[in-house]
Amino acid sequence: MSSEVFISEQSPFIIGEIAQNHDGSLGMCHAYIDALADEGVHAIKFQTHIASEESTLDEPFRIKFSHQDDTRYEYWRRMEFTESQWQGLKQHADERGIEFMSTPFSTKAVEMLVKLGVQCWKVGSGDTFSHELLDSMIATDLPIIVSTGMSSWREIDDVVNKLESSGTVFSLLQCTSRYPTPLADVGLNILDEMKRRYDCRIGLSDHTGTLTPAMIAIARGYTLIEVHTTFDRRMFGPDITASVTVDELGKLVQFAESVVELDANPVDKDEMAENLKDQKELFGKSVGLRVDLLAGHVIEEVDLIPKKPGSGIPWNEQDKVNGRRLIRDVDQNRLLTWEDME
């Protein structure tokens, strides 16, 4: 993937975030790759967790949901895949033509993903302050997408300064780290403020579990979008309530591409009217008759009615018809012509 993908505001880049919605199943991960590729999603994103490198037994559950993990550390262990398994997922995504992404949560995860040949990084909201992790990503010279769900403006400034000083191509995502996020907390207004403050592509990482915020953001020109995705809202996991379905994500991709096409093709109203001249005639109105009239009848206003198509005497010229004498019988189911009158 070239850095232009992250710079161009015109190219939609929709990321389907799987996170832990696979619940530790490698097979489920492969199924998600096929499903999102079928929907035309531009990128599929996982999370690369290595429990021993990022967590401890002291880490509490964000949501106590698991029926099989006594600690969050055990949960992260269950979410791990081996390097060869990750390689298989990357290869599968490449074969299906969908960008493979995975958020690393440790420098060791960065090292593993580099070996896989990832083309960009995604920094989760909780790691915008993890300078060691950021430094390891910056060192790869790959583009970086940063979520800002827990950051203040000052903290975002610090991250931007760090990335800019290193010459890294980067993008920022407005995000609210609540699962699910109430609509009132999405903060679409922040997109415009970010655009004003920073010289980079701006997008939205949404956790509402609906398409509404992403669609509004896209309509406003912010086409870098990340949304959590699940096969079904009845599946198991802490992020399911913050996810849209695979089918819904496909509709979002179609919507984004339609908005770009609409904006890229301005229409000249006069030129379009000229192009539709034949259709305009078809839908137009001409001078018609209310009843059958016989030759010799002197036409009165009460005899006339506007009827389609518009290929006859224009209805706005009806006054030129009044008072004329018919020279032949005229059926009410055909248009009046000048040849019918003296």
Task: Provide, rounded to the nearest whole percent, the portion of the chain with pLDDT above 70.
Answer: 98
* Averaged pLDDT for residues 26-52: 97
* Averaged pLDDT for residues 245-267: 96
CA distance 208 to 186: 8
CA distance 281 to 160: 59
User: Residue 7: pLDDT above 80?
Assistant: no
Tens digits of per-residue pLDDT, 130-173?
899 999 999 999 999 999 999 999 999 999 999 999 999 999 99
Q: Which residue has the tokens 């440790």?
A: 106
Give residue 8's pLDDT band: very low, low, confident or very high (50, 70, 90). Answer: low
Q: Among residues 114, 177, 120, 122, which one has the least CA distance to residue 146?
A: 122
Give residue 68's pLDDT band: very low, low, confident or very high (50, 70, 90). Answer: confident
Q: Among residues 10, 40, 39, 44, which one has the least CA distance to residue 223?
A: 10
The burial class, CB within 10 Å (0-12 / 13-18 / 19+), for 306 is middle
Between 5 and 188, the higher pLDDT residue: 188
Give residue 1's pLDDT band: very low, low, confident or very high (50, 70, 90). Answer: low
User: Residue 9: pLDDT above 80?
Assistant: no
* Averaged pLDDT for residues 177-204: 97
Predicted structure pTM score: 0.86
Tens digits of per-residue pLDDT, 201-229?
999 999 999 999 999 999 999 999 999 99
Q: Which pLDDT score is estimated for 69?
A: 76
Q: Which pLDDT score is estimated for 30?
A: 98
C-alpha 259: how far from its chain's center? 9
Contacting residues for 153 by C-beta, under 8 A, at least 6 apart = 197
Domains and CATH numbers, the chain: 8-263 (3.20.20.70), 270-340 (3.90.1210.10)
Give residue 66's pLDDT band: very low, low, confident or very high (50, 70, 90). Answer: confident
Q: What is the 3-state secondary structure (H, E, C) of the chain?
A: CCCHHHHCCCCCEEEEECCCCCCCCHHHHHHHHHHHHHCCCCEEEEEECCHHHHCCCCCCCCCCCCCCCCCHHHHHHHHCCCHHHHHHHHHHHHHHCCEEEEEECCHHHHHHHHHHCCCCEEECHHHCCCHHHHHHHHCCCCCEEEECCCCCHHHHHHHHHHHHHHCCCEEEEEECCCCCCCHHHCCCHHHHHHHHHCCCEEEEEECCCCCHHHHHHHHCCCCEEEEEEECCCCCCCCCHHHEEEHHHHHHHHHHHHHHHHHHCCCCCHHHHHHHCHHHHHHHCCEEEECCCECCCCECCHHHEEEECCCCCCEHHHHHHCCCCEECCCECCCCCCCHHHEC
Q: Which pLDDT score is estimated for 114?
A: 98
What residues pair up with 307 in beta bridges, in sequence order? 286
Q: Which pLDDT score is estimated for 56?
A: 84
Q: Which pLDDT score is estimated for 96?
A: 98
Distances (CA, A) of 81 to 19, 192, 210, 301: 13, 39, 29, 85
Q: Which pLDDT score is estimated for 2?
A: 56
User: Residue 82: pLDDT above 60?
Assistant: yes
CA distance 205 to 221: 15
